[in-house]
Amino acid sequence: MTRTSLRVAAALAALAVLPALAACGATRTPSHHASSSPHAAASPAPSASQGMHHAATTPAAQPLRPGERFATLTMPAAYTPKPPAGGTDEYRCFLLDPKLSGEDTFLTGAQFQPRNTEVVHHAILFRLDADRTGEARRMDAASPGEGWTCFGDAGVEEGEWIGQWAPGVAEVLLDPKLGYPMPAGSALVMQIHYSTLALGDRPAGADQSSVRLRLASGKLTPLRTATFPAPIELPCTPQEKGPLCERPAAIADVAKRFGAEAGQAADQLAQLCSGGKPVPGDTQHCDIPVEQPATIHAVLGHMHLLGRSISMELNPGKPGAKKLLEVPDYDFDNQTLRPLAEPVQVKRGDVIRVTCTHDASLRAQLPLLRDLPPRYVVWGEGTQDEMCLGVAVASPATSAGS
């Protein structure tokens, strides 16, 4: 499904949907928590620090491989987050120019370097081809302060997702023959999700994050990123009461905080994944057909605070079905990209299923959430909302190089 036909890409927000493989188409979650749910009854209670942002240091760079070089790009100026609509979440995009010219260049690795770790929740890198950078510069110039608001994606059409970061994530290197194309004149958009929820009444400090790029020249096999979303339809626990425990009210609250388009995501995902009928429950899945043949090299899963487990499976229920990702004890601080032991070939007509389990009882235990009103949780961009997203890094067969 194209970007136009699935404008849920914007509502699916922090992680934009790109048509590399999929038909379409982040607050720390402790890896162990107490819960009244059966699958976690024996887990210890979360510590007081869980659900909070933590100071981070940038991991030391792995050695350069033949033909590679480093380039570090920093936000042009500091920015102080100002979440809209009385909320605690802001998605801000910043244009970075690697000044590429001449020979073919590929991105073979990246390490995001957060400056203000109290408010930086996660980040995504998008590539803009040379003919799209003018639009980004106009948006930047027209927006007060550094950067521009960009819920959903880079805010510019045809931005290609080429990298991501969340707490605990270090640079992951794939085969040196693989890389994301960076044509001459192309630029990067660095989308940062700022969350001020953990600050309480304290004002947000300024941020001026950067990213260390690993660039290589020559002829490499091009990579693309594909995303596989599933619904969130998580009711309040029997012990919780309140107006936001009603699904329509919860969706209206998402729309109030992030815009009408974001409010459409829950129903669009229900249409995509369950025939238009929402199915409330802890566990949700979605079967997404593959559009074109490709080779999958690495995968990761993304949820928020209430996430328990996430998996991705190729052709479930069929002979030769294969698990691509299995995270039975999800931890937001360990969302690293996971290279597959062996690359997996997929063809048009194959199906990739993403499955997530969330636990509403964690809301009463985590410091970041326990003082917020209980809610029926649907897909949303805020820290108190949830996501279920599988991500695959792949080389489309039609563009494979040497």
Torsion-angle region of 227 (φ positive above 0: left; ψ -120 to 50: alpha; else: beta): beta
The strands making up 160-165's β-sheet, listed across from edge to edge, are 148-149, 89-96, 187-195, 120-128, 160-165
**Of the candidates 165, 188, 218, which is a domain's last residue?**
218
pLDDT band at residue 56, thresholds of 50, 70 and 90? low
* Selection from 207, 4, 179 nearest residue 104 by Cα: 179
The Cα 374–Cα 399 span in angstroms is: 48
Q: Is residue 45 part of a domain?
A: no
Same domain, 200 and 72: yes
* pTM metric for this prediction: 0.84
pLDDT in tens, 111-165: 999 999 999 999 999 999 999 999 999 999 999 999 999 977 888 887 899 999 9
**Of the candidates 173, 203, 218, which is a domain's last residue?**
218
pLDDT in tens, 65-110: 999 999 999 999 999 999 988 889 999 999 999 999 888 899 999 9
Q: Is residue 56 part of a domain?
A: no
- Give DSSP secondary structure letters for 132-160: GHHHHHHHHHHSSSSSEE-SSS-SSTTPE
CA distances from 35 to 8, 32, 154, 305 (A): 32, 9, 37, 13
Same domain, 231 and 331: yes
Q: What is the DSSP letter of 271?
A: H
Helix, coil or strand: residue 205? coil
Q: Give how many domains the chain has, as a whole number.
A: 2
**Of the candidates 161, 186, 218, which is a domain's last residue?**
218
pLDDT in tens, 362-375: 999 999 899 999 99
pLDDT at position 59: 75
Same domain, 129 and 267: no
Check which CATH number belongs to the domain holding 141 and give it: 2.60.120.230
Same domain, 136 and 208: yes
What domain range includes position 139? 68-218
Place of tokens 């020249």: 217
* Selection from 193, 46, 202 nearest residue 117 by Cα: 193
